[in-house]
Structure 1
Amino acid sequence: MKTNSLSAWILAVRPYSLGNSVILVLIASALAYTDGGFRPGTALLCLLFALLMQCTANLVNDLWDFLKGADQPDRLGPDRAFAKGYITPRAMKTGIAAFTLAAGATGLGILGTAHDMLPYGGWELVAVGIACLVFAYFYTAGPWPLAYHGLGDVAVILFFGVIPVGFSYYVQTGNWTPEVTLVSLACGLVIDTMLMVNNFRDREEDARCRKRTVVVVFGAGVGRWGYLLLGLVPMALCLGLLATGRLWAALLPLPYAAAHIATWRKMVRIDHGDALNVCLGETARNIMLFGALMTIGILLG
């Protein structure tokens, strides 16, 4: 692959993972639509912001995991562009800055379209935007990276669940409901299954480079059972929507559990090595399934 080529950058932003951002904004917008507050322009800006922030986080992760020794050219997971030498250090830093600036500009666009309807005039969005930037950088970078101190899962649940779903809904409606809390937590837990299977696969490499993930700290057993629970607890949260009268939103996502359990059984059987990458692919598919079923269920009522 040619250094700093378009193909290298596509590899670096990890397009297979960007569907996570898409489903979060879709679910939030479906909730806003059924509550009479859907704003297409604002929703599109939220989607763009989410994608740009995820690309930023992926590039920072690519750079700093290599610098800290977690990503080597012979890593078990999918290729990392920087570790493979497909992107130069200067180009990577420039790319990170460019994506960060683009995300910031998009955030200002959201603020401009929504500030007049928000309880605090939009200042709360400034705080959320800063928090998203801090997460994107300090998940793997800085003197105390979250992913290296057992807080990666908490960060994913917050920044790939509660914050994107909750605030994508909030900037369209000016409100936050108990339903939004249930759905955003369910989304965060489901998406964290991807991190858990990654950390389960990489547990030996992570231990060698002192990346103290939950799996490294508490053992492979926690990785196995944690993965299972991360997919099943959201089903209980979805059933909580029955109390708010959203029958389809409560029941339609349940088939996800069957797909998740099938992947978990495969993960337990394989146990270690790059063969676990098939479980990573299935996990990404399962997350998309959950997102599609949840979105349709919300729209059906």
Structure 2
Amino acid sequence: MEQQASNVLESDKGWKIWWQLTRPHTLTAAFVPVLLGTVLALQFTKVDILLFAAMLVACLLIQAATNMFNEYYDYKRGLDTEHSVGIGGAIVRNGVKPSTVINLAFSLYGIALLLGIYICLNSTWWLALIGIVCMAAGYFYTGGPMPIAYTPFGEIVAGFFMGFVIILISFYIQTGYINGDSVLISIPVSILVGSILLANNIRDLDGDKENGRKTIAILLGKKGAIILLGSMFVVSYAWIIGLVVTGISSPWLFVAFLSIPKAVKATTGFIGKSQPIEMMPAMKATAQTNTIFGFLLSIGLLLAYML
């Protein structure tokens, strides 16, 4: 009986190791854009559930694989230790072989590629090119000779590919076209996806500076980066006001404003904090802002469609 309980415990621990390796708090950055693009398409056509599911799973796999590439290359460059905050820790804490992590990441890319083929068969093969570019961006975020994560462009790349592009693809595979509404609605969510990376870079500012990175948080300084983060939240909510006031979208989109307390918590949570562990709640609140904002925005679009 004791041996059986021990096996269960070890199994549970193993499951947690692999789950943490995906960095689950970041996966909503893939879920929200797919949901939003699909709900937006519902106003113009009947939604294909299988295409939605394929797009969602593919994006989640690409996000998880990107996180594993991050884990692998940060370890190879000596950036991660067992005391590092905000990592999966499979390599430095749990003894998982680096080769296992990188192979798993490429395996997830392989599955995403197969799902992409299904999506292309039911839409257009032009999406294959776009998908490959998105996957390349995920890899080169921390891989390659000049990782995007080492430059001031990480937030822009993340917001563009994980927000703007995913929303438009999710909309396109359902409708067969892109319209002005889909482009305009994608902007605030793209900004909030970028804010997740900015929050991460604020937390890691000191360590990144020591390791030669030139993130926007380093270039602006901590105070400037926090101001930028707050400004990104303000622009996102102001964008919704603009869409409603100009008559482009329904007032139901104002339901997204229920996420404002999380945005405030995310911004103020960085003030006066110096240790990465102290800034984790603020970083978590930033990711939650993106999730809640996008989910509520989807609800607002759905209500506008139904009522």
Does TM-score exceed 0.5, indicating one fold?
yes
Verify: 1:62 aligned to 2:65, yes or no.
Answer: no
Q: Is the 8 A contact 2:262 2:288 kept in 1?
A: no
Equivalent position to 2:253, from 239, 250, 254: 250
Partner of residue 128, structure 2: 126
Query: Residues 143-158 of structure 1: matches in 2 within 5 Å?
Result: 143-158=145-160
Q: Is the 8 A contact 1:160 1:187 kept in 2?
A: no
Matching residue's letter, 2:47? F
Q: Is the 8 A contact 2:23 2:88 kept in 1?
A: no
Q: Secondary structure at the match of 2:272?
A: helix
Equivalent position to 1:205, from 187, 204, 207: 207
Matching residue's letter, 1:231? F
Distance 1:5 1:154 in 2: 35
Partner of residue 193, structure 2: 191
Deviation, 1:70, is 2.6
Report how many aligned residue pairs link the two structures.
Answer: 294
Matching residue's letter, 1:289? I
Q: Is the 8 A contact 1:182 1:240 kept in 2?
A: no
Greater mean deviation of Cα atoms: 131-140 or 16-25: 16-25
Verify: 1:80 aligned to 2:89, yes or no.
Answer: yes
Give the structure with higher Rg (CA). 2
Q: Is the 8 A contact 1:14 1:58 kept in 2?
A: yes
Q: Is the 8 A contact 1:2 1:86 kept in 2?
A: no
Partner of residue 300, structure 1: 303
Distance 1:290 1:56 in 2: 25
Greater mean deviation of Cα atoms: 78-87 or 17-26: 78-87
TM-aligned CA distance change 1:256 to 1:92, over 3 Å: same
Equivalent position to 1:275, from 278, 289, 294: 278
Distance 2:24 2:85 in 1: 18
Q: Any idea what the Cα deviations from partners look like across 1:135-171, whole Å, max 9, x if unmatched?
A: 1110000011111111111111111211110111011
Query: Residues 20-35 of structure 1: matches in 2 within 5 Å?
Result: 20-35=29-44
Which residues of structure 1 form unaligned runs of 5+?
115-121
Verify: 1:108 aligned to 2:110, yes or no.
Answer: no
Partner of residue 289, structure 2: 286
Equivalent position to 2:220, from 204, 218, 221: 218
Q: Secondary structure at the match of 2:144?
A: coil
Matching residue's letter, 1:222? G
Which residues of structure 2 form unaligned runs of 5+?
1-8
Seq. identity, % = 23
Deviation, 1:99, is 0.6
TM-score calculated relative to the size of structure 2? 0.89
Distance 2:50 2:247 in 1: 28
TM-score calculated relative to the size of structure 1? 0.91
Deviation, 1:79, is 4.4
Partner of residue 16, structure 1: 25
Q: Any idea what the Cα deviations from partners look like across 1:239-258, whole Å, max 9, x if unmatched?
A: 23223442234312123233
Task: Quote the RMSD (CA, aligned, Å).
Answer: 2.0
Deviation, 1:194, is 1.7
